[in-house]
Structure 1
Amino acid sequence: MTKVVGVRFRDTGKTYYFDPRGIDVKENDVVIVETARGIENGTAVFDVKEVNDDEIVSPLKPVKRVATKKDLAQIEKNKASEKQAFDICKKKIAAHNLEMNLTEVEYTFDTSKIVFYFTADGRVDFRELVKDLSSTFHTRIELRQIGVRDEAKMVGGLGVCGRPFCCSTFLNDFHSVSIKMVKDQGLSLSPTKISGCCGRLMCCLKYEQNSYEYLEKITPRVGSTVEWGRNNRGKVVEVALLTGKLKVLPDDAVEGSAPVTVSRDEVKIVKNK
């Protein structure tokens, strides 16, 4: 077992483990930590605790200190600098006539590095832009291309449901979402109804997928032969997964007669399609 503190660098970002080195870090404390990118500030997700060694990626980077008043002032100064750097970079992108959309700018705590996040339809040759930015800011520059889902997570906004984006409020990571989920849940295949503001399939399609998969396992499929009541037998012609109602056409039904509605719990599968 190893003592660690979980630190998050964004409100909905991943949680990384750090070595507290005897510092009494409490949940929601702003901490200064050492990372591969340099010295950065983050927020403690939980108090110092012990975790299994197999949950740790060694070597653990150390927590340098809980942020002081001077550190907090530096963080606010960095945020102001990020806004200025954003405006400057946008002008330089236009000057270099590059097909890229600047999303966000991030300073490391010690200002030893500036990271510019952008989206683009394809590869972008930004070597001259990096040189221009380096000569302007006199520090290390990194341009990082991100996807449209990451852009939505950073920028935020309101989804088609009227609520803030899931990715920018509580989702720590993106889950795989497929068109199969849309079909399983009986939703419209119209892109405008199943796509988020980022243009990709909505993340919320994942939330109920496990329930739909379970209901599919216990529900007769369309075309299956079932029995119910006293010697009643027929073929399933329609299924409502959520309500568990089946429309069954009895074997002895006369031509043109309507199917009967029975509950999923009332039938016994004779032959599943």
Structure 2
Amino acid sequence: MMTFGSIFRISASATMLVLAGCMSVADMAGYDSGTMNEQAAKNYSQLVQQARSRQVLDTTSATSARVHRVFERLVPVADRVNRTGTPFRWQMSVIRSNELNAWAMPGGKMAVYTGMVERLNLTDDEIAAIVGHEMSHALLEHSRRALGGQVLAGIGGALLAEQTGLDSNLIGLGTDLAANKPFSRHQENEADALGVRLMARAGYNPQAAINVWNKLNAAGSTNGITILSTHPANESRIRAIRAMLSELMQVYRQNRR
């Protein structure tokens, strides 16, 4: 979710051409949207089972209830902007872990870690910023684009290792790829822009997205945390969200509950 040292310095137009090429390579390798979503669903099911067996699947806490409530309010909005050609079967799991983390797999399989909500003392609007951002990665099929880039460059997937002991190979198909992968800056900017639109349309205050990144920056200044090691926050992204606020606040006011 944040700043990355640029691996390839190419023009914006060239970037878009390569992104399109990556999608084609992923298709040729058999990773069309339907296939990736199906594989992600299988991996997600195994991961949820692992979490349940390790007693870290949180289905009863107030934090879990809040995350699911926000998620369910965002899903209809996300469905309306789905342009992948494949309907998503959205699912959310809350993982009991002190880690500051959240992720989304292809097809809308998601998780939020309790540490994200509880350590940062997130409001519902701030939870919506996190969930909306991760939803946007799935809607924009960033994992599929990144997979195409990996095929082209011969890059193996660097996957998240979880404090909970869950199998990182199950998570790796759909979570945000590590920061040193090509096009990550572009993908994160896209997810920022779409994520704040999703939350505004669902009636959540988009200004909360800025609060979240500021909280993550503050936490990252004193703690090495997963979400910042893969997506280090920066002021340019906060400025980009601020530049959208005039438009977004109108949308928010129209949908506020």
TM-score interval (norm. to shorter):
under 0.3
Larger relative contact order (Cα-Cα within 8 Å, sequence gap ≥ 6)? 2
| Higher Cα Rg, which structure | 1
Q: TM-score, normalised by structure 1?
A: 0.23
